């Protein structure tokens, strides 16, 4: 078993797609606690063998790091809670 799930492999029959039909990026709306933004590259695949279509995460990029200091304007009475941990547990 591969350690990491291969996004190119068809979840239905196990054949490997050559490349995504289409890719796009998702940018997380909030930086993590280190001030980094996670950019997720998604791909849309079609299986060359059975024709099944699926979408998978092709790559995750963390950007904007290097600033240890957290400086965020705080507006009283305004609470934003977004849990990004589910998307972000590679390590
Ligand atoms: Zn397939």
Rg over CA atoms, the chain:
17
Q: What is the domain partition of the chain in residue ranges?
A: 1-67
Q: What is the CA(61)–ligand 1 centre distance, in A?
A: 28
Q: What is the CA(37)–ligand 1 centre distance, in A?
A: 33
**Domain 1-67 top-level CATH class:** mainly beta
Q: What is the CA(72)–ligand 1 centre distance, in A?
A: 46
Q: Report the pLDDT averaged over residues 80-85.
A: 56
pLDDT at 35: 85
Instruction: Decide: 42 and 24 in contact? Cβ < 8 Å.
Output: yes
pLDDT in tens, 39-80: 999 999 999 999 999 999 999 988 876 544 444 555 555 555
Whether pTM exceeds 0.85: no
pLDDT in tens, 9-26: 999 999 999 999 999 999
The single residue listed with the structure tokens 């809670």 is 81
Nearest to 23 by CA among 50, 51, 49, 61: 61
Q: What is the DSSP letter of 36?
A: P
Residue 48 vs residue 82, higher pLDDT: 48
Q: What is the CA(39)–ligand 1 centre distance, in A?
A: 28
Which DSSP string corresponds to 39-84?
EEEEEEEE-TTT--EEEEEEEEEEES-----------TT-------
């Amino acid at each position: 078993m591969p350690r990491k799930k291969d996004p190119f492999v068809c979840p239905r029959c196990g054949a490997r797609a050559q490349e995504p039909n289409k890719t796009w990026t998702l940018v997380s709306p909030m930086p993590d606690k280190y001030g980094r933004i996670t950019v997720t590259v998604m791909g849309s695949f079609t299986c060359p063998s059975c024709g099944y279509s699926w979408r998978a995460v092709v790559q995750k990029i963390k950007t904007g790091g290097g600033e240890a200091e957290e400086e965020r304007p705080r507006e009283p009475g305004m609470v934003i809670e977004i849990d990004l941990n589910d998307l972000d547990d590679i390590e």
